[in-house]
């Protein structure tokens, strides 16, 4: 009975979400983006300190400026970035207001994970970016020095559909001759241990 219930649980959002780096130039509503942040607000937080704040960017000109501070897909050579016709149409910037907790970066990870999966449930693709020019973002968005600029989540409706494959020797993603991104993932049996290592 329990096994029956477990097999009915829909994990497809978690299994099929991939980082998206090519986007349709269709607007994503502010309401949808706010829902992502509202869910992140309720994500687990060490000592419940809730040290994070968020900035949503949808303004086209500001999006253009934020784009210049981002670095994409380091494994792809030569250096790759979305073309102007496939850039993200929105961003959520994650800020750390209170660094008291030694685990604040884990709070960031839960928040980012929540945002990308909530966006995915609403059909919106995303990519977490940590390789970013933080001081440029601070200046563009007038972020006070007292807050840490942690990461950027790029968002938009998907204009690509990456596929996963079994990782063998390399975990490096690559684009095939059709431009499809292949993302190697380690096998369950290679990472899971039951009761003992």
Ligand X SMILES: Cc1cc2nc3c(=O)[nH]c(=O)nc-3n(C[C@H](O)[C@H](O)[C@H](O)COP(=O)(O)O)c2cc1C
Distance in Å, CB of 107 to ligand X, minimum: 13
- Looking at beta carbons only, is 47 or 130 nearer to ligand X? 130
Distance in Å, CB of 175 to ligand X, minimum: 12
- Looking at beta carbons only, is 30 or 122 nearer to ligand X? 122
Interface with ligand X (CB under 6 A):
18-19, 21, 71-73, 127-131, 162, 173, 183
Taking CA atoms, 156 is separated from 14, 41, 112, 115, 125, in Å, by 18, 21, 15, 13, 5
Distance in Å, CB of 79 to ligand X, minimum: 11
Distance in Å, CB of 112 to ligand X, minimum: 7
- The structure tokens 């390399």 sit at 170
CB neighbourhood size of 83 (10 A): 9
- Looking at beta carbons only, is 30 or 64 nearer to ligand X? 64
Angle between helices 30-41 and 104-121 (to 10 degrees): 140
- Looking at beta carbons only, is 11 or 195 nearer to ligand X? 11
Q: Do you find a cis peptide bond into 78, omega within 30 degrees of 0?
A: yes
């Amino acid at each position: 009975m329990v096994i029956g219930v477990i097999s009915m649980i829909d994990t497809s959002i978690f299994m099929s979400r991939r980082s998206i780096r090519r986007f349709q130039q269709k607007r994503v509503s502010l309401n949808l983006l706010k829902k992502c942040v509202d869910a992140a607000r309720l994500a687990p937080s060490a000592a419940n300190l809730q040290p994070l704040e968020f900035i949503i960017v949808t303004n086209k000109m500001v999006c253009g400026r934020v784009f210049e501070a981002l670095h994409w897909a380091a494994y792809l050579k030569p250096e790759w970035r979305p073309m102007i016709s496939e850039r993200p149409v929105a961003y959520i910037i994650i800020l750390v207001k209170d660094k008291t907790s030694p685990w604040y970066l884990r709070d960031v990870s839960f928040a980012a994970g929540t945002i990308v999966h909530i966006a995915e449930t609403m059909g919106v693709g995303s990519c977490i970016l940590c390789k970013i020019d933080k001081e440029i973002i601070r200046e563009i968005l007038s972020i006070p020095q007292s807050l840490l600029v942690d990461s950027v989540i790029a968002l938009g409706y998907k204009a690509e559909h990456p596929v996963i494959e079994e990782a063998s020797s390399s975990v490096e993603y690559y684009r095939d001759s059709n431009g499809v991104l292949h993302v190697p993932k380690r096998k369950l049996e290679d990472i899971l241990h039951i009761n003992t290592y």
